């Protein structure tokens, strides 16, 4: 307490008591509160600017440093376009498979109680916690030449490792729990009373899902799809292990960035990166729009 405040305090004790004590205390606290507040906000802004925004600015400035012509050449390069196509294909496959799985699995785990429910939930989360490199490795050990299915696949002329199916499988693997993780808490919180009522009144399984379960989960589903797509578009480690880096064949966009960078073709690497940055920003915007809508509906 400063000298001046102390004096006021003592005066007030003589004077009208409690209310003026508050009068003295309130502004002091507010002042220091404001100071801390700006300090904390400042630290956060600085941290996020250095950690998140600066890398984006680096990508954009480096992509454009040799001018528009070089940028366009890198972005519309034949291999870049092919890599983009494969990336989109893998992401679409991952989203489709994981949405089907997410809906069935969260329906199963939230509407029915059975033994091993917890274990099943834990198993679904596995791909979330393991290194992407290991995710790629498991497919090599399954379908590759050394894998136990390798001989069978070779005999039938099916190629999975170092081919497009491998890239797709690895992408599905790393994004496997994403839709489930978004849907399950929502379905679980909703409980199963409404479904039970509908079932007792004679509704069939599909009708129950379409008319009762689905309206509750549509925003969460969209949210999960967006997260799944984001991760699928950007997956690098797992795909890197299994793709074999065949240009124009099994190269996804994130892998193409690596190849260009390792060839010291830095400008082109950043130009291709800028395409991915744009995709990432679009996904973030979509995520925020969906979140805003779902909150508004609640």
User: Applying CB under 8 A, does 105 fall inside the site for other proteins?
Assistant: yes
d(CA 238, CA 127): 11
Helix axes of 266-297 and 214-234: crossing angle, nearest 10 degrees: 170
Min dist. Cβ of residue 69 to other proteins (A): 22
Question: Which one of 12-20, 72-80, 214-222, 231-239 is the stretch in contact with other proteins (CB under 8 A)?
Answer: 231-239
User: Applying CB under 8 A, does 190 fall inside the site for other proteins?
Assistant: no
Binding other proteins (rule: CB under 8 A), the pick from 162, 176, 184, 219 is: 176
Binding other proteins (rule: CB under 8 A), the pick from 19, 113, 189, 298 is: 113
Of 285, 267, 264, 253, residue with least CA distance to 59 = 267
Restricted to residues 135-154, the positions that interact with other proteins (CB under 8 A) are 137-142, 144, 146-148
Restricted to residues 238-277, the positions that interact with other proteins (CB under 8 A) are 240-241, 253-255, 257-258, 261, 266, 269-270, 273, 276-277
d(CA 127, CA 111): 24
Binding other proteins (rule: CB under 8 A), the pick from 1, 13, 45, 158 is: 45
User: Applying CB under 8 A, does 162 fall inside the site for other proteins?
Assistant: no
Restricted to residues 194-213, the positions that interact with other proteins (CB under 8 A) are 195-196, 199-200, 204-205, 208-209
| Through-space distance between the first and last CA atoms of the chain, rounded to whole angstroms | 47
User: Applying CB under 8 A, does 133 fall inside the site for other proteins?
Assistant: yes
Min dist. Cβ of residue 139 to other proteins (A): 6
Which burial class, exposed, middle or buried, applies to 53 when counting CB atoms under 10 A from its CB (0-12, 13-18, 19+)? exposed
User: Applying CB under 8 A, does 217 fall inside the site for other proteins?
Assistant: no
Min dist. Cβ of residue 28 to other proteins (A): 12
User: Applying CB under 8 A, does 52 fall inside the site for other proteins?
Assistant: yes
Give just the sign of the alpha carbon dihedral 109, 112, 118, 124: negative
Which residue's structure tokens are 């001989």?
Answer: 151
Min dist. Cβ of residue 250 to other proteins (A): 15
d(CA 42, CA 53): 15
User: Applying CB under 8 A, does 90 fall inside the site for other proteins?
Assistant: no
Distances (CA, A) of 136 to 25, 219, 230, 240, 241: 62, 31, 19, 8, 5
């Amino acid at each position: 307490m400063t000298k001046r405040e102390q004096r006021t305090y003592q005066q007030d004790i003589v004077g009208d008591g409690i209310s003026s004590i508050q009068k003295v205390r309130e502004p002091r606290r507010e002042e220091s509160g404001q100071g801390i507040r700006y300090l904390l906000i400042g630290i956060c802004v600085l941290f996020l600017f250095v950690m998140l925004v600066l890398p984006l600015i680096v990508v954009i400035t480096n992509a454009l440093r040799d001018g528009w012509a070089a940028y366009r050449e890198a972005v519309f390069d034949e291999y870049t376009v092919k890599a983009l196509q494969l990336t989109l294909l893998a992401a679409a496959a991952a989203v489709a498979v994981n949405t089907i799985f997410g809906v069935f699995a969260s329906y199963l785990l939230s509407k029915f109680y059975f033994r091993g429910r917890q274990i099943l939930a834990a198993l679904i989360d596995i791909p979330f916690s393991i290194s992407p490199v290991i995710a790629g490795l498991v497919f090599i050990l399954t379908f590759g030449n050394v894998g136990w299915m390798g001989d069978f696949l070779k005999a039938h002329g099916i190629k999975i490792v170092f081919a497009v199916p491998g890239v797709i499988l690895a992408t599905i693997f790393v994004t496997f729990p994403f839709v489930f993780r978004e849907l399950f808490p929502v379905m679980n919180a909703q409980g199963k009373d409404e479904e039970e009522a509908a079932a007792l009144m004679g509704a069939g399984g599909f009708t129950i899902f379409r008319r009762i379960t689905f309206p509750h989960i549509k925003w969460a589903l969209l949210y999960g799809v967006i997260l799944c797509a984001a991760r699928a578009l950007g997956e690098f480690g797992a795909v890197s292990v299994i793709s074999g880096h065949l240009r124009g064949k099994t190269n996804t966009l994130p892998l193409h960035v690596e190849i260009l960078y390792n060839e010291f073709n830095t400008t082109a690497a950043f130009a291709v990166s800028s395409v991915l940055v744009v995709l990432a920003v679009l996904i973030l915007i979509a995520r925020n729009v969906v979140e805003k809508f779902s909150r508004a509906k609640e």
